[in-house]
């Protein structure tokens, strides 16, 4: 009985940036829970097609579209095509994002703008064009992928933190405007996960690696598959009265100030 609460069989889910990393892990989770997966990536159609094969190998119905989430014209065309080829989009996961690690005092304005453009403006653009169909159908789920940096600062990631902090307020404002159409808009805030984005700061011997393990009550980096449950919950009937909420999946980082290195 309770299983039907989490069943998303036949729902169409568009996940941006789902050719690898956290986006792929969440999309795999949604696909295994029954959703038809629409994969977006921006680097090349070939990379998107290769990802689609990965999903299909898991028995998931998957389609792939290459487009730039920061370009409104491309988004409009892609959403139209997806709705025609696959069907109305029931679930949108705004996952595509970038990070540039540069001290603010040295950061080029163009680089700062690019981070904000992809991490904050794009979720607005894609949601704006997907939500119209959801409004007509009076049903939909939007999940914005936030970050630890939505809540905390860290040296060198100022632009990313500004964008991810903004994404929390964008999520709350989307909920404010769209909840009455029976659309639930929430966020997932991943903690520190082992992905290609964190590869350079996870390398053995890198002081950040030990720092994160020490800083996380669970004492480890997250496995991308740990995000699937949160994604399924926020995509399913189980969350039909949850709106404007950010679900942090962080092994407890935000619960604690941390501990000195030499303390058990």
Nearest distance in Å: CB 195, ligand GCO: 8
Nearer to ligand GCO, 101 or 172 (CB): 101
148 binds ligand GCO (CB under 6 A): yes
Nearest distance in Å: CB 155, ligand GCO: 9
Give the whole-angstrom CA distance, residue 49 versus residue 77. Answer: 19
Nearest distance in Å: CB 189, ligand GCO: 7
Nearest distance in Å: CB 28, ligand GCO: 19
The DSSP element (H or E) to which 29 belongs, if any, is helix 21-32
Write the binding mask 16 to 55 for ligand GCO: x where contact by CB under 6 A, - elsewhere: ----------------------------------------
* Measured CA distances, 73 to 68, 76, 80 (Å): 9, 5, 11
160 is a catalytic site residue: yes
How many contiguous H segments (helices) and E segments (strands) does the chain have? Answer: 10, 7
Kindly report the backbone phi and psi dihedral angles of residue 248, in degrees, each rounded to the nearest multiple of 5, phi listed first.
Answer: -85, 130
Evaluate whether 11 touches 211 at the Cβ level (below 8 Å): no
Nearer to ligand GCO, 29 or 190 (CB): 190
Q: Is 146 exposed, middle or buried (0-12, 13-18, 19+ CB in 10 A)?
A: buried
Catalytic residue from among 55, 65, 160, 248: 160
101 binds ligand GCO (CB under 6 A): yes
Nearer to ligand GCO, 82 or 230 (CB): 230
H-type helices in 108-262, by residue range?
A: 109-116, 122-137, 158-178, 199-202, 207-215, 228-235
Residues 170-229 that bind ligand GCO (CB under 6 A): 190-192, 197-198, 201
Place of tokens 């036949």: 10
99 binds ligand GCO (CB under 6 A): yes
162 binds ligand GCO (CB under 6 A): no
Site for ligand GCO (CB under 6 A): which residue of 40, 147, 184, 236? Answer: 147
Evaluate whether 65 touches 84 at the Cβ level (below 8 Å): no
Nearest distance in Å: CB 230, ligand GCO: 13
Q: Is 71 exposed, middle or buried (0-12, 13-18, 19+ CB in 10 A)?
A: middle
Nearer to ligand GCO, 32 or 101 (CB): 101
Q: Which residues bind ligand GCO (CB under 6 A)?
A: 99, 101, 147-149, 154, 157, 160, 190-192, 197-198, 201
Catalytic residues: 160
């Amino acid at each position: 009985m309770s299983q039907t609460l989490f069943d998303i069989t036949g729902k169409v889910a568009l996940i941006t940036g789902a050719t690898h990393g956290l986006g792929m892990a969440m999309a795999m989770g949604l696909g295994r829970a029954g959703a038809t997966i629409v994969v977006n990536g921006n680097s090349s159609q070939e990379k998107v097609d290769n990802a689609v094969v990965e999903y299909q190998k898991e028995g998931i119905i998957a389609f792939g579209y290459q487009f730039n989430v920061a370009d409104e014209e491309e988004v409009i065309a892609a959403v139209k095509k997806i709705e025609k080829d696959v069907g109305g989009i029931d679930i949108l996961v705004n996952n595509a994002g970038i990070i540039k690690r540069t001290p603010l005092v040295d950061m080029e304005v163009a680089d700062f703008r690019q981070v904000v453009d992809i991490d904050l403006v794009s979720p607005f653009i894609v949601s704006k064009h997907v939500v119209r169909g959801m409004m007509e159908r009076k049903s939909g789920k939007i999940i914005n992928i936030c970050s630890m940096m939505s809540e905390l600062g860290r040296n060198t990631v100022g632009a990313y933190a500004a964008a991810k902090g903004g994404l929390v307020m964008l999520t709350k404002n989307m909920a404010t405007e769209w909840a009455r159409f029976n659309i639930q808009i929430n966020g997932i805030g991943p903690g520190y996960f082992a992905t290609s984005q964190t590869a350079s700061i996870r390398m053995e011997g890198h002081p950040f690696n030990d720092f994160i393990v020490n800083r996380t009550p669970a004492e480890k980096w997250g496995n991308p598959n740990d995000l699937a449950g949160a994604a399924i919950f926020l995509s399913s009937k189980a969350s039909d009265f949850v709106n404007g909420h950010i679900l942090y999946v962080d092994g407890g980082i935000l619960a604690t100030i941390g501990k000195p290195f030499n303390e058990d």
